[in-house]
Structure 1
Amino acid sequence: MAIGTRRLILVALSVNVLFIVFMAVQQHKYISDSSFSVSGRQVEQQHQKEPASHSPESVRQRVTVIIRDFESFDNAVVETIRELYTVLNGTKVIIVGDTVPYPPLQVDKKWDVEIVSLNPNLMHNYSSSRPVHMIKTKHVLVLPDTAKVKHWKHLQTAIIALGSKGRFRAVAIGVGTEQLKCMSMDVDLKRWQMTLGLANDSSDHCDMWTGDQALFMLTEDFHSLAEPFARPFAQAFYIQAKLRQWRVRYFKRYQMARVKDLYSEPHNKWKHKRLEEERLSSFYKHWGIKAVVHSDGKTDYYGCTKTTPRCFGTIIDDMPEYLYEGKWTPPCCLKALRETTRHVFSILEKEKVRYWLEGGSLLGAARNEDIILWDYDVDVGIYREDIEKSPHLKDAKVGSYVDEEGFVWEKATEGEFFRVQYSEDNHLHVDLHPFYSKDGTMTKDTWFKTHRQDTEFPERFLKPLTKISFVGIMASAPNNVREFLEFKFGKGVIEQSRFPNFKRVQ
């Protein structure tokens, strides 16, 4: 009898051990991912910090869902929330639009849903158009229209991933059948520029995942974004994340399905694409990204053009306003200056006008064969006696003249020199300063006290003229560039790079 009792006890213990092992395996299955792993120590430490989230109810209490990327004219927002509620019934959902959606969304009154317009209403208070104040949970899931959450345990895994305080600050989950693609990205606000390139999809150092996706993050991180509701959301988020040196993990295993396909009508598809491009362009312009360089070398510009004013106002004390902001000349402005310079030099050479690079423009050519990165115009010297050779300059003496390519030739109002502007709207320009020889010394009639390089110089520097690489062409220059620049600016000027009034920004 004692032997039988011992056998029963051993059998019972064995069953209990097998059950415990089975439950541990199941739990590990739910918190593991082929593209993400959390160590047992991390999970244990996280569970000690806060209650476990091993039920739909506990996940629901931790997560607020935000639906931002949708179109009023063609959407499945209501269906998306209905499918969400089959997995996490009662989850707080905030629908955020630039304006109140029209036609109105037919949201079930039983749902915990807020519809918020970012456009302020004079009858409401400030907070009513700032939905960040409505998020009371620890985590946020930004869900694109039509995305279908398959299982609450996928969000549980994301909660554990972010709670472990590891390498990642957000989790990306693809939507649809296509996997997300990895892109490298560099954001240089000083140069007003962003550079994009292809990267290895398996890299843990991906700067941006492209494609339809949901993004899961801590609410405190979402609140810390400068523009948390910018659209298109994913692109705007990754730019801000890159500037904060955040890393985002892609859960390849947990791809979301779609509630339904949108934009089946060609017009709606075209309209959606156009709006997405306009939103991204608006985000770039608002936050000072004026050039996007792609992996194929193509550059898209989002700054000034021939039909818009330049990116900065009147220059005071030779210091453009952007220098005080710690930035250099916007790339669109440098592009316009290069185009204007090449056009002017082509005209002068055709009309046999002797010219040479002057001042900071020659300094830029000597340093890096281009315009100095913080310069805002191009200075050129010409022989005053050659003005009569040029129909363009003769017309400019009479009045403002727009040539066949839209560049504006005119007599400057500040003194005895000429100016060629990029266009009638955009006043980025090349200044042409007429010099003449006086007893072997080159002089002129208008001088600027604030320009330390504005001084007379021996004519021998121009006899003969030489060539130097500048803005992609060979431009005329004095025959001893270093000696000429050091005569104007001082010894070692080519190597000593500094702003015109550098003491103002120290």
Structure 2
Amino acid sequence: MRVTPCQAALAATITLNLLLLYCAWRGPASPAPPCRPPHGVPGVTVLLRDFEDFENDVAATARSFAALPVPVLVAAEAAPYPPVPLPPGVAFLPLRPIADRPPPHPELHVRTRHVALVPDGTRAVPGLLERMRDALEDGDARLVVAPVGSAPLRCLELRVEPREWTARYGAGAPGRCRAVEGPAVLLLRTRDLFALPFPLAHPAPAAVFIQAALRRWGLRVVPAAFPAAQRPPLSPHARWKAENLAETRRRQLMRDLGIKREVLADGRERWYGCGKETPRCFGTVHARTPQYLLAGRWTPPCCLRALRETARHVTAALEAAGVRYWLEGGSLLGAVRLGDIIPWDYDVDLGIYREDVKKCRWLAAVAARGEAVEDAEGFLWEKAAEGEFYRVHYSRSNRLHVDLWPFYPRGGVMTKETWLGHPQDVEFPERFLVPRVPVPFAGFTAMAPNDARAFLELKFGPGAVENPEYPNPAVKRLHQD
């Protein structure tokens, strides 16, 4: 069908009216972006993200960069309070959704091909953002950084191990940085920043470095520095608030990124997972397969740490009381393979002689009263609800535990009252325990059957030591990871 000029004009008018209606529906222009094409305009947009409401240099920092001139956006969950008088042309970008307004889409507010994350208190240098942009485009790096202030940046290697919930930092060599230590401006392509799942998380440098390391993005350091503003030192109260906010934000960031341990370049560790006063990091285990295995991860390191501590505590109490115990099941497998808990295990199993239960004050109290007993160090001893065995929990709140299985000899064979149907849950000759032998386990020495390999092959089948497998291969197998 032929379209007449009149019909074409009518269609164009209808289209224009619909576009204007859509723009009006989007609400007020502050801070919603105008109707416009996607990213692609040459240039760099400056984003000010990391600053404090109660003590900041945002207005002066924004004014410095706006004078270049470049687009400047101040991004925060909510407008700073006390209010910050932003210079003309500098827009505030709220990140927290508000029920009666359209959802925030920060990626729609950056029109330029490149974006720079600038720390509060930085002063602009004409041409330096362009030099950073050129360095990005001339090489294979996806991220370019430049120092702020007179102190040089420290180059760091960064390896993120999602399966172990861990980020490891080390001393990096020039040209091989994955992160830097020190205040810095970060520049990257706008499409790269907003392709990250957490593009504007606090603190911005750590969030970008970790997500970039997961994607193996290259990082390049530009030696030229941005000046830092001369600012009076924070008051003691403001410093305390800033330190607490920084710690809170970093913890939230690590939760979002699935990091429960950071190993710093000097060997120190930061922990973000469960502790004595918190619940454990995973819920009830079904079909011997914790949820984290289905997510492609192993036992959170904070949980392994708690299990090691609980196992050490329990074995020390048993030895002091003269209770004969030995490593059982998967815990013995871990001792033989690694001298430690298997990286994906979620409890520790110990066998004990049933007749020795009365020797341990905590076990005897639980057996007599039928109620849980908390010892002097906060570990909780109780009788398991599933049958005739005992559990020692890391704490009342954190239910990571050691299972104690009471065996007794019958005709030279060790047996027990409760069987949970696990393939390896079988009787065995008492000769494996006469004598018991010490083995390294989880940072201490524990007692084990005298022929661990034969004991394990009786329980798990031939090749059990050499062929690791998840607890329930019918649900998930190790080779699937």
Question: Structure 1 length normalisation: TM-score?
Answer: 0.84
1:287 aligns with one of 257, 281, 285: 257
Per-residue deviation, 1:385: 0.7
Match of 2:109 in 1: 134
| Aligned-partner residue type, residue 83 of structure 1 | S
- 2:98 is the counterpart of 1:98: no
| Aligned-partner residue type, residue 115 of structure 2 | V
SS in 2 for 1:138: strand
After TM superposition, the structure 1 = structure 2 runs for residues 458-477 of structure 1, keeping only pairs within 5 Å, are 458-477=429-448
- 2:199 is the counterpart of 1:222: no
Per-residue deviation, 1:459: 0.9
2:96 aligns with one of 97, 104, 119: 119
| Aligned-partner residue type, residue 199 of structure 1 | G
Quote the Cα distance in structure 1 between the aligned partners of 2:266 and 2:64: 40
Q: Is the 8 A contact 1:74 1:262 kept in 2?
A: no
Match of 1:29 in 2: none
Quote the Cα distance in structure 2 between the aligned partners of 1:176 and 1:285: 31
Quote the Cα distance in structure 2 between the aligned partners of 1:310 and 1:71: 32
Match of 2:61 in 1: 80
SS in 1 for 2:299: coil
Match of 1:337 in 2: 307
SS in 2 for 1:448: coil
SS in 2 for 1:306: coil
- 2:129 is the counterpart of 1:155: yes
- 2:341 is the counterpart of 1:371: yes
Query: Identity percentage over the alignment?
Result: 44
Q: Is the 8 A contact 1:83 1:259 kept in 2?
A: no
Quote the Cα distance in structure 1 between the aligned partners of 2:129 and 2:269: 38
C-alpha distance after superposition, 1:182-203 (max 9, x if no partner): 1111110100011112223xx1
Q: Is the 8 A contact 1:75 1:262 kept in 2?
A: no
- 2:418 is the counterpart of 1:446: yes
SS in 2 for 1:271: helix
Q: Is the 8 A contact 1:384 1:435 kept in 2?
A: yes
SS in 2 for 1:124: coil
Per-residue deviation, 1:269: 2.3
| Aligned-partner residue type, residue 174 of structure 1 | P
2:387 aligns with one of 415, 435, 439: 415
SS in 2 for 1:468: strand
- 2:153 is the counterpart of 1:174: no
- 2:210 is the counterpart of 1:239: yes
Match of 1:429 in 2: 401
After TM superposition, the structure 1 = structure 2 runs for residues 280-429 of structure 1, keeping only pairs within 5 Å, are 280-397=250-367, 398=369, 399-429=371-401
Per-residue deviation, 1:274: 2.3
SS in 2 for 1:62: strand
Per-residue deviation, 1:61: 5.4
| Aligned-partner residue type, residue 162 of structure 2 | L
Quote the Cα distance in structure 2 between the aligned partners of 1:482 and 1:175: 59
Match of 1:37 in 2: none
Q: Is the 8 A contact 1:307 1:423 kept in 2?
A: yes
- 2:427 is the counterpart of 1:456: yes
Q: Is the 8 A contact 1:96 1:117 kept in 2?
A: yes
Match of 2:247 in 1: 277
C-alpha distance after superposition, 1:206-255 (max 9, x if no partner): 11111111111111111111111111111111111111111221111x21
C-alpha distance after superposition, 1:257-292 (max 9, x if no partner): 123325432322232122112211211122211111
Per-residue deviation, 1:65: 1.1
Question: Structure 2 length normalisation: TM-score?
Answer: 0.88
Q: Is the 8 A contact 2:310 2:402 kept in 1?
A: yes
| Aligned-partner residue type, residue 401 of structure 1 | V
Per-residue deviation, 1:431: 0.4
- 2:184 is the counterpart of 1:191: no
Quote the Cα distance in structure 2 between the aligned partners of 1:84 and 1:296: 36
| Aligned-partner residue type, residue 168 of structure 1 | A
Q: Is the 8 A contact 2:325 2:350 kept in 1?
A: yes
- Aligned Cα root-mean-square deviation (Å): 1.5
C-alpha distance after superposition, 1:418-455 (max 9, x if no partner): 00000000000000000011111111000011x11100
Quote the Cα distance in structure 2 between the aligned partners of 1:475 and 1:155: 60
Per-residue deviation, 1:66: 0.6
Quote the Cα distance in structure 1 between the aligned partners of 2:147 and 2:385: 59
Unaligned runs of 5+ in 2: 1-39
Q: Is the 8 A contact 1:78 1:106 kept in 2?
A: yes
SS in 2 for 1:504: coil
Quote the Cα distance in structure 2 between the aligned partners of 1:142 and 1:295: 24
| Aligned-partner residue type, residue 293 of structure 1 | V
Q: How many residues align?
A: 436
| Aligned-partner residue type, residue 423 of structure 2 | R
Q: Is the 8 A contact 1:408 1:421 kept in 2?
A: yes
Match of 1:65 in 2: 46
Per-residue deviation, 1:122: 0.6
Quote the Cα distance in structure 2 between the aligned partners of 1:170 and 1:298: 27
Unaligned runs of 5+ in 1: 1-58
Per-residue deviation, 1:60: 9.5
Quote the Cα distance in structure 2 between the aligned partners of 1:60 and 1:74: 34
Q: Is the 8 A contact 1:353 1:386 kept in 2?
A: yes
| Aligned-partner residue type, residue 494 of structure 1 | V
| Aligned-partner residue type, residue 294 of structure 1 | L
| Aligned-partner residue type, residue 412 of structure 1 | A
Quote the Cα distance in structure 1 between the aligned partners of 2:404 and 2:147: 57
Match of 2:86 in 1: 107
SS in 2 for 1:125: coil
Q: Is the 8 A contact 1:74 1:263 kept in 2?
A: no
